[in-house]
Amino acid sequence: MNERARAFIGRLRGQRFGSTLLVLLTLAVGILIGTVISNSVKGASNLGRFSDATALQAPNPKQLGNAFTVIAKQMEPAVVTIYTESVPKQVQAPQGRRRRNQNPDDEQQNPFDDFFNHFFGGPQGPGDQGGTPERALGSGVIVDNKGYIVTNAHVVDDADRIRVKFKDDQERYTATLVGKDSETDLAVLKIEPKGKTLSSARLGNSDGMQVGDWVLAIGSPFGQEETVTAGIVSAKGRNIVPRKQFQSFIQTDAAINPGNSGGPLVNMDGDVIGINTAIFTEGFSQGYMGVGFAMPSNTVRDVYNQLISSEHRVVRGSIGVTYNAEENPAVARVYGIKSGVTISSVQKGGPSEAAGLRPGDTITSVNGQPVKNGDELVSDITKVRPGTKVTLGYLDQNGAQKQASIVVADRAKLYGENANDNEQAQEQGQPEESKLGVTARTLTPEMADRMDLQGTKGVIVSDVKPGTFADDIGLERGMVILQVNKQPVNSEDDFRRLTGKFKSGDDIVFLVHTGRGPTAGNIFLGGRLP
């Protein structure tokens, strides 16, 4: 075969291969198109099989029978947000250690001071650095449609201008401070309605509340007006600030946050049974942790009625004694007390001192009516008008039943501002540590003078070993031990002799002077020795 023939055959084979490849490609495309068409037909067939589906429709709106909703709507017009403006009086400390409503003489700050400052009205934000002073400080509730509002005293402390805002009303109404009471942290404001019809809330009877009852907290947390949270009454009669005899709170787990202070705590009848005041919190969040406190409405009513009177202040009777806010079983056992209030200190120049009462005596009745605890004693005495005589029944330290006629004094005049700044005595040397874990030395006249305890005898605590009995019961450096189990302590020798005889299982009670700040006073510390 010549070259021309071979070339012809090669071209023919190439054409056949190309034709075959073209046919195969055409067949593949056809199969693919057929598959798509087939699937589309099947899909269309499936849609047709569900043609009976009905389109969803929105129902007509309706109100559910919810008691929370009813109460929230009822209270809404009576709850307000309170704003204040203040002109800086002085340059703040570099680290902001002391805030505006703290006593600069009191170096022993209570943990709840942070709550009153940071959460419910303390200076914070730009105002402390010389910026815009206006900021939302808290809430309030109208209790009289003439414009009278109840809130917390710390919300309006040091305010140069107070303004009140209603929900859905952009106007801010100027408020006048009618009066405030630091003992209960309550204040009354007054606004002029200016033709606006005001709604008022109704104060209920807080004594009727039981642990477990549902309550609502209403206010402006973080500036969110008319926020409503629900919870229950967790406890009653909570004393969260040491030696504050008139701050006995309702505890609730209804969410309370910054801005809620001064707002109402409401029961399921729509009655205000408390004014939200403080929360317990820990850590960096400084927010709600399920523990809030409200001043009971019965206390609010008593304070309000006095603040709107001509004197615009609360007048309380006093017999010039103090006692432990929390009952201590060891104190009751050592002093043989089944019921009553054991006196921890007697005010110098006060009516009880004049009548012969002493620390360690136990008041059991007022005008013939039994007194079970400190709250009852305070309630009975503070209601008595100053200048009135009352008859106290009491047991002395030896258990003898006695009576005393006492003229009730004006508490404010008796105690004044109590603004002395007691200094902690500075000890030298290394006294021997007792087996209880406390080191103490004789209180010298010079030390007593510095602590405003002229003529007082005792021993001053110079050290407390961590984890010991003394540490567990609350003894601290700077406290002055006056008695051990009713026996006076005049020196280190007395202290060693009295404490050296105790053994495991014995009850030990110290009468001590706290030795610091304007709240300094006598308290009992004690327990059972392990």
Residues 330 and 230 in one domain: no
CA distance 473 to 13: 110
Q: What is the residue type of 350?
A: G
Q: Is 261 a catalytic residue?
A: yes
Beta strand residue intervals within 145-185, DSSP E:
148-152, 161-165, 172-181
Look at residue 33 and tell me if it is in a domain.
no
| 334 has pLDDT over 90 | no
Of 281, 314, 347, which closes a domain? Answer: 314
Instruction: Please state, rounded to an integer, the average pLDDT across all residues of the chain.
Output: 78
Which of these, 345, 120, 360, 114, lies nearest to 240 by C-alpha position? 114
CA distance 67 to 525: 47
As a whole number, mean pLDDT of residues 148-174 equals: 90
Alpha helices in 79-180 (DSSP H): 113-114, 153-156
CA distance 172 to 163: 6
CATH number, residue 285 = 2.40.10.120
pTM for this prediction: 0.62
CA distance 200 to 217: 16
Question: Which one from 86, 139, 154, 157 is the annotated catalytic residue?
Answer: 154
Model pLDDT for residues 177-188, shown as the tens digit of each residue: 999 998 899 999
Residues 229 and 302 in one domain: yes
Model pLDDT for residues 413-426, shown as the tens digit of each residue: 887 644 333 333 33
Residue pointed to by tokens 């902690």: 424
CA distance 188 to 311: 13
Residues 310 and 328 in one domain: no
Note the pLDDT of residue 335.
81
Look at residue 420 and tell me if it is in a domain.
no
Residues 405 and 376 in one domain: yes
Q: How many domains does the chain divide into?
A: 3
CA distance 178 to 156: 11
Instruction: Output DSSP code: residue 433.
Output: B
Residues 249 and 125 in one domain: yes
Q: What is the DSSP string of 434-502?
A: PTTSEEEEE--HHHHHHTT-TT---EEEEEE-TTSHHHHHT--TT-EEEEETTEE--SHHHHHHHHHT-
Q: Is 513 a catalytic residue?
A: no
Residues 377 and 491 in one domain: no
Q: Which domain holds residue 499?
A: 438-528
Residue pointed to by tokens 């009625």: 305
Residues 249 and 340 in one domain: no
Model pLDDT for residues 435-484, shown as the tens digit of each residue: 788 988 888 888 888 788 888 889 999 888 888 999 899 999 889 999 99
Question: Which one from 86, 234, 248, 261 is the annotated catalytic residue?
Answer: 261
Q: How many residues does the chain have?
A: 530
CA distance 69 to 66: 5
Look at residue 424 and tell me if it is in a domain.
no
Residue 88, token pair as written in the block: 């800086």
| 31 has pLDDT over 90 | no
Q: What is the residue type of 318?
A: S
| 111 has pLDDT over 60 | no
Tell me the CA distances in angstroms from 366 to 140, 319, 379, 388, 408, one per residue in order.
37, 11, 11, 13, 12
Look at residue 49 and tell me if it is in a domain.
no
Note the pLDDT of residue 39.
55
Residues 268 and 394 in one domain: no
Residues 349 and 216 in one domain: no
Q: What is the residue type of 214?
A: W
Distance of CA 5 to the CA centre of its chain: 111
Q: Is 105 a catalytic residue?
A: no
Question: Which one from 185, 253, 271, 494 is the annotated catalytic residue?
Answer: 185
Residues 154 and 291 in one domain: yes
Least confident of 33-42, 299-308, 336-345, 377-386: 33-42
Note the pLDDT of residue 229.
93
Look at residue 486 and tell me if it is in a domain.
yes
Residues 322 and 286 in one domain: no
Look at residue 184 and tell me if it is in a domain.
yes
Residues 501 and 463 in one domain: yes
| 112 has pLDDT over 60 | no
CA distance 109 to 516: 11
Note the pLDDT of residue 137.
74
Look at residue 425 and tell me if it is in a domain.
no
Angle at CA 93, nearest 5°, toward 90 and 98?
A: 95
CA distance 459 to 482: 7
| 102 has pLDDT over 60 | no
CA distance 288 to 311: 38
Model pLDDT for residues 490-510, shown as the tens digit of each residue: 988 889 889 888 888 889 999
CATH number, residue 450 = 2.30.42.10
Question: Containing H/E element for 30?
Answer: helix 3-49
Look at residue 156 and tell me if it is in a domain.
yes
